[in-house]
Amino acid sequence: MKSLQTIFKYIKKYPSLVATYFTFNVLSAIFGVISLGLLSPFLMLIFKQGDAFKAVTGTGFFNRINPINYFKEWLYEMIQTPGGSIKALMVICIVVFISILLKNLFAYLSMYFLNPIRNRILNDMRSSMYHKILQLPVGYFSEQRKGDIMSKLSNDLGDVEGSTISVLESIFREPITIILFFVYMIILSPQLTLFLLIFLPVSGFILGRIGRSLKKENKLVLQQFGTLFSTIEETLGGIRIIKAFNAEDKIRNKFEAENTAMYDLKNKANRRRDLASPVSEALGITAVLCILWYGGRMVLSGDKGFTLSAGDFLAYIAIFTQLIQPLKGLSNASYNLQKGAASIERIEGLINEDVDIKELPDAKVLENFNHSIELKNVSFGYEGVPVLKNINLLIEKGKTIALVGSSGAGKSTLADLIPRFIDASGGEVLIDGVNIKNYTLASVRHQMGIVTQEAILFNTSIEENISLGKDGAAAAEIAEAARIANAHNFIEKKEDGYATNIGDRGMKLSGGERQRLTIARAVLKNPPILILDEATSSLDTESERLVQDAINNLMNNRTSIVIAHRLSTIRHANEIVVLQKGEIVERGTHDSLIQQDGFYKRLVDMQEVK
């Protein structure tokens, strides 16, 4: 089964733990068989069938290999002595006690070593998913629901822990127990065991039919949970707008419909799952009754071909009743595997997701940015829809290039090509005359700093947010970067200064303060290339002035690519590139473009730029 293959892929990393767990399981099962096997001499002694102890080892192959028979012979010798029956009873009780004690001790030790295996598998799967999330290109996250990705990291992984991982216990323990019990049952009575085996394929077929449908049901549950999680994530992110537009009822109704759908699906899946236990138990009881009838009839009829004594027959029944629980465990394990298979598929789907942005095996490190960035005949499309068409653009070191145009013109897409967030469908992106694909990703992005319209900050301290791009930055360096970004003064006013926690996405700060922290972060990194994506478009006038001053400080002596809706912020750019429908329609300085009286001029007039 594919889900098991996935689990074993992780298990094989820990062979010593698995071997130890397996060994203790074997020992536990052996002493379990011994404790039940001793039921026969106990019953024979209690019911005063002393002659039945006598010399059973020479009557056939199975009798000779039965270790309990040798114990019976020893007890027979003991019974012949004065007070021997009481001594034999004490010996049996002591041996049974020691056997049960050792059985449970080894069972505990097996679980002691299973828990690290389970937890390491879950940790490895969680790490694999998280590492893949960090590797996937930016475009992947615009195509996928964040709630569904979070569902895979939480609900799907929890489902694997509660189903597939829990199956490990059954996979390793139950077969060992079943095999040892069956071996001893064959030793006791091969005829009766053969009769029993007739029922196993029938019960396996019935349980298998129920189990196969469970995977489909649970996959639907997981998909619905991903949808529900997305709605919750969107609600938390957009709660201000929901309240502002009095949309609580609308959003609530949407959530309730999705929640009810998940309720119905889970009910259906759980009912199918819960059918496994009663069906397997009913089949087990049926098998016991058949054994009682078949074996009891042969004992009562005195069949000469049936050499099982009454005590051994009762021991046989006792062992078989103990066999029902492991068989039931395997049955439940089969259902849990089907249930967890859907989660495994979704998790593996994320882990095995193809990473479009790949490094060449012989990629070299971009040590320094020396003279230019060039886009040569660059095109890019998404799902067959062209976004950029034959872009040719040269950005010389130290120059500021502004990208303007209406929404959807391709400005952000063009900027995303330079740090290789996406790869061009056609043409080349060159840095210092070398195709960007020939450099390592880390070295390319090390040369760049990015400030976006949305201030992306993390739920930690101001100091940690500023130093994100530079490990081990000194406090003085961080403070200097904050001064250049016009952020030092407001930081100093905070009660904890640079140690202040700014909350989820920096929500404890104003919009202008958040943006100045992102600029300080870029200043501290000190990159030669800057990409500024509408960094002031969402700010009020006062904040815009402070942020724009910080940006001007940041841009000094750097190569800058600026995307701007507010055209007043890019009037002094060395070149303004006007994009429309994925093509460059105009280019030049602000003054030359105004004189052309074209598309740029109309944009300026609409914003009343003078």
Q: What is the 3-state secondary structure (H, E, C) of 163-196?
A: CCCCHHHHHHHHHHHHHHHHHHHHHHCHHHHHHH
Residue with tokens 């049996």: 92
Q: Residue 579 has which token pair?
A: 């994009």
pLDDT band at 56 (very low <50, low <70, confident <90, very high): very low
Query: Mean pLDDT throughout 482-510?
Result: 87
User: Number of folded domains in the chain?
Assistant: 2
294 or 490, greater pLDDT? 490
The CA distances from residue 76 to 44, 50, 73, 95, 526, in Å, are: 11, 7, 5, 16, 91
411: closest CA among 597, 529, 577?
Answer: 577
397: closest CA among 561, 570, 264?
Answer: 561
φ, ψ for residue 562 (rounded to 5)? -115, 125
Within 430-474, residue ranges assigned H as helices are: 441-446, 462-466
pLDDT band at 14 (very low <50, low <70, confident <90, very high): confident
Domain boundary among 503, 526, 549: 526
Torsion of CA 583, 585, 589, 591, to 10 degrees: -150
What pLDDT score was predicted for residue 378? 93
Based on the fold, state whether residues 461 and 345 are members of the same structural domain. Answer: no
Based on the fold, state whether residues 470 and 346 are members of the same structural domain. Answer: no
Q: How many CB atoms lie within 10 A of CB 169?
A: 18
Query: Mean pLDDT throughout 76-85?
Result: 67
The CA distances from residue 373 to 326, 368, 444, in Å, are: 67, 12, 12
What pLDDT score was predicted for residue 58? 45
DSSP H helix total and E strand total for the chain: 25, 10
Domain with residue 195: its CATH number is 1.20.1560.10
224: closest CA among 267, 256, 258?
Answer: 258
Say how far apart CA 317 and CA 314 lie, in whole Å.
Answer: 5
What pLDDT score was predicted for residue 609? 46
What pLDDT score was predicted for residue 241? 66
Q: Residue 434 has which token pair?
A: 């070398």
User: Residue 65: pLDDT above 90?
Assistant: no
Q: What is the 3-state secondary structure (H, E, C) of 558-589?
A: CEEEEECCCHHHHCCCCEEEEEECCEEEEEEC
| Any domain includes 396 | no
Q: What does the mean pLDDT of the chain come to?
A: 79
524: left (phi over 0), alpha (psi -120 to 50) or beta: alpha
| Any domain includes 589 | no
| Cβ contact 577:402 at 8 Å | yes
173 or 75, greater pLDDT? 173
Say how far apart CA 354 and CA 369 lie, in whole Å.
Answer: 30
Say how far apart CA 170 and CA 163 lie, in whole Å.
Answer: 11
Torsion of CA 470, 471, 476, 480, to 10 degrees: 10
Lowest mean pLDDT among 301-305, 345-349, 389-393: 301-305
560: closest CA among 588, 527, 587, 511?
Answer: 527
- Residue 203 pairs in a beta bridge with none
Query: Mean pLDDT throughout 195-200?
Result: 68
Based on the fold, state whether residues 330 and 463 are members of the same structural domain. Answer: no
Say how far apart CA 199 and CA 196 lie, in whole Å.
Answer: 6
User: Which positions ≥6 away from 443 have C-beta within 8 Å?
Assistant: 365, 366, 367
Coil vs helix vs strand at 62: helix
Query: Mean pLDDT throughout 217-237?
Result: 73
| Any domain includes 97 | yes
Coil vs helix vs strand at 341: helix
The CA distances from residue 113 to 12, 17, 100, 551, in Å, are: 15, 6, 20, 57
| Any domain includes 560 | no
The CA distances from residue 489 to 151, 498, 510, in Å, are: 41, 11, 14
User: Tell me, what DSSP letter sits at residue 433?
Assistant: T
Based on the fold, state whether residues 68 and 182 are members of the same structural domain. Answer: yes
Say how far apart CA 409 and CA 585 lie, in whole Å.
Answer: 11
Lowest mean pLDDT among 8-17, 228-237, 359-368: 228-237
Q: How many CB atoms lie within 10 A of CB 203?
A: 18
Say how far apart CA 234 and CA 185 lie, in whole Å.
Answer: 60
What pLDDT score was predicted for residue 102? 92
Lowest mean pLDDT among 238-247, 404-413, 488-497: 238-247
User: Tell me, what DSSP letter sits at residue 369?
Assistant: -
Based on the fold, state whether residues 60 and 182 are members of the same structural domain. Answer: yes
Say how far apart CA 93 and CA 115 lie, in whole Å.
Answer: 33
Residue with tokens 């293959």: 5
What pLDDT score was predicted for residue 55? 42
146 or 69, greater pLDDT? 146
What is the domain range of residue 494? 456-526
Query: What long-range pairs does 487-493 form, CB within 8 A, spacing at least 24?
Result: 487/513, 487/516, 487/517, 487/519, 487/520, 487/550, 490/516, 491/462
| Any domain includes 535 | no
- Residue 501 pairs in a beta bridge with 461
609 or 385, greater pLDDT? 385
Within 248-309, residue ranges assigned H as helices are: 248-274, 276-301
What pLDDT score was predicted for residue 199? 63
Q: How many residues does the chain have?
A: 610
Say how far apart CA 397 and CA 143 lie, in whole Å.
Answer: 34
Domain with residue 491: its CATH number is 3.40.50.300
Query: Mean pLDDT throughout 225-247?
Result: 72
Query: Mean pLDDT throughout 578-605?
Result: 89
Say how far apart CA 607 and CA 610 lie, in whole Å.
Answer: 9
User: Residue 604: pLDDT above 50?
Assistant: yes
56 or 313, greater pLDDT? 313
User: Residue 468: pLDDT above 90?
Assistant: no
Domain boundary among 326, 351, 376: 351
| Any domain includes 394 | no
395 or 608, greater pLDDT? 395
Query: Mean pLDDT throughout 569-580?
Result: 88
Beta strand 400-405 with 559-563 is parallel
| Cβ contact 131:107 at 8 Å | no
- The tens digit of pLDDT for each residue in 299-345 reads 666 555 555 566 677 777 777 777 767 776 776 677 677 667 778 88
Query: Mean pLDDT throughout 166-177?
Result: 76
Lowest mean pLDDT among 44-58, 449-463, 532-546: 44-58
| Cβ contact 509:471 at 8 Å | no
Q: How far apart are the first and last CA of the chain?
A: 70
Half-sphere exposure of 528 (CA within 13 A, CB side): 18
Query: Mean pLDDT throughout 156-182?
Result: 77
Q: Residue 472 has which token pair?
A: 């081990």
| Any domain includes 376 | no
What pLDDT score was predicted for residue 47? 53
What pLDDT score was predicted for residue 569? 75
Say how far apart CA 190 and CA 178 lie, in whole Å.
Answer: 16
- The tens digit of pLDDT for each residue in 241-298 reads 676 667 778 888 888 888 888 888 888 777 766 766 677 667 667 777 777 777 676 6
| Any domain includes 552 | no
177 or 306, greater pLDDT? 177
Say how far apart CA 117 and CA 17 lie, in whole Å.
Answer: 7
| Cβ contact 515:543 at 8 Å | yes
Say how far apart CA 177 and CA 189 lie, in whole Å.
Answer: 18
Based on the fold, state whether residues 344 and 467 are members of the same structural domain. Answer: no
Calculate Rg over the CA atoms of the chain: 37
The CA distances from residue 369 to 422, 444, 524, 536, 545, in Å, are: 20, 9, 18, 27, 30
Query: Mean pLDDT throughout 493-522?
Result: 87
Domain boundary among 480, 495, 526: 526
